[in-house]
Amino acid sequence: MKGYVVLISVVAALGGLLFGFDTAVISGTINFIQPYFGLSETGLGWTVSSLLFGCIGGVFLAGKVGDHYGRKKVLMMAALLFFVSSVGSATAHVLIFFLIARILGGLAVGVASILSPMYIAELAPAKYRGTLVSLNQLAIVIGILVAFFSNYLLVGTGENNWRWMLLVMAAPAILLFFSLFMVPESPRWLVARGRTDEALQVLIKTSGKESARLELAEIELTLTKHEDSTFRDLLAPKIRPLLNIGIILAVFQQITGINTIMYYAPKIFANVGQSNDSALMQTILIGGTNLIFTLVALVLIDRFGRKLLIQIGSLGMMLMLAGLSALFFTNHTSGVLVLIFILGYIAFFAASLGPALWVVAAELFPNRLRSKGMSVAIVSLWIACTIVTIVFPIMLEKLSGGITFLIFALICLANLLYVLKYVPETKGKTLEELEKQFASL
């Protein structure tokens, strides 16, 4: 049973790998596409963030279409969009076509950001759910690392190097599409569509015969109102506090600065005197650190819980960003010192808020509202990500690195205080048990 569930989770997490690759690959191209398309700093911010506008649409598409057609089929659609985006952006000669291709990739990222963790959460036994959902985050950081590494390997391929960097994504997109033929549909979605016999067979394979029928009964009980659920139901007195937690935690994940590092690391290193080759090599170290400490999170998240990890991580992120700010204020911005604080920040994020947000978002909402609740929370994440991505190069230019990173450090402190007071612990319980727990609050 464990092996089967892990197989399902790994296949679904390929959506996370493409999510990570597509969002990070742009970092290696910015020093080449900026002169190619004649972009100002503001224009660069809008171009880099074009993917994120697609993400916002993709999140809403995932919630509605995923409920109608199923998690599996819509993930297959996302795989095709990843492929089209890869080929389209790699072959674009005019900025508008480049932007359209990136927006299509954003639609796929938005779909994957909702459906991959949701699909895993709906199939995983409660005891292993935190770890298995975190596989999605692990896949995201592997995708980021692959993007950084392939960017470095391809930087010497001539004036069209950025095109090859973007084309690499076509291969994992094809892999995801065909791998999805091997996995079942979510049993909770099957029950919602009245296909209980199929749902039971899936549950027997994932949970065993002894608990499958009990779990099926619980799912049927919590899905009695599934067909009548609307986004307005998220504003019900019992649900609104959960929605607020999902939205605020998702926004904090982005405004604490993670994608300013992931998207603009080469630019940050270039600003402190590093060459393009050296800057791209250092992004590989960032991706490697991200991967190692995401593995740490997989070990710890079901043992110590989501809340404690986020608290420790937020404190560490704050200290690293404060140190980075101090380097800029004192003009001690040698490549080594900047790299040390950036790697420290990445380590704390990857071991805490990075994976924990996706786990908590998949656990907060009742079965009948999960896709809608996650859609609202994750679209808030992408809106926050878009804003930060657009304004960061402007902040770096107008405010200086010292003030910019100090602002992000203070946001990390605010996140720590918020989690301490408002975010519940969700480890070790079935989704239906959590639904009963939150309903009684």
DSSP 8-state class, residue 186:
P
Residue with tokens 């029928």: 213
Which pairs from 227-234 meet CB under 8 Å and 24+ separation? Answer: 227/192, 229/368, 229/369, 229/372, 230/372, 231/372, 231/376, 233/368, 233/369, 233/372, 234/369, 234/372, 234/373, 234/376
Positive or negative, the CA dihedral 351, 354, 357, 358 is negative
Tokens representing 393 are 């190069």
- Chain centre distance of CA 210: 35
pLDDT over threshold 80, residue 38 = yes
- Dihedral pair phi/psi, residue 41, rounded to 5°: -60, -40
The topology (CATH level 3) of 2-183+224-439 is Growth Hormone; Chain: A; (1.20.1250)
Cα–Cα distance, 107 to 79 (Å, whole number): 10
Q: What is the pTM of this model?
A: 0.74
CA geometry: angle 2, 5, 123, nearest 5 deg: 130
pLDDT over threshold 80, residue 139 = yes
Q: Are 395 and 260 in contact (CB under 8 A)?
A: no
State residue 91's pLDDT score. Answer: 93
State residue 335's pLDDT score. Answer: 63
Across 189-346, the runs of DSSP E, i.e. the strands, are none
Q: Are 82 and 108 in contact (CB under 8 A)?
A: yes
Give the start-to-end residue ranges of the domains of the chain.
2-183+224-439
State residue 271's pLDDT score. Answer: 64
pLDDT over threshold 80, residue 178 = yes
- pLDDT tens figures, 250-305: 999 999 988 778 767 766 776 666 666 676 777 788 888 988 998 898 888 888 88
Among the listed ranges 9-13, 57-61, 258-262, which one has the minimum average pLDDT value? 258-262
- pLDDT tens figures, 205-255: 887 787 788 888 878 877 654 455 677 878 877 788 888 988 999 999 999
pLDDT over threshold 80, residue 328 = yes
State residue 251's pLDDT score. Answer: 94
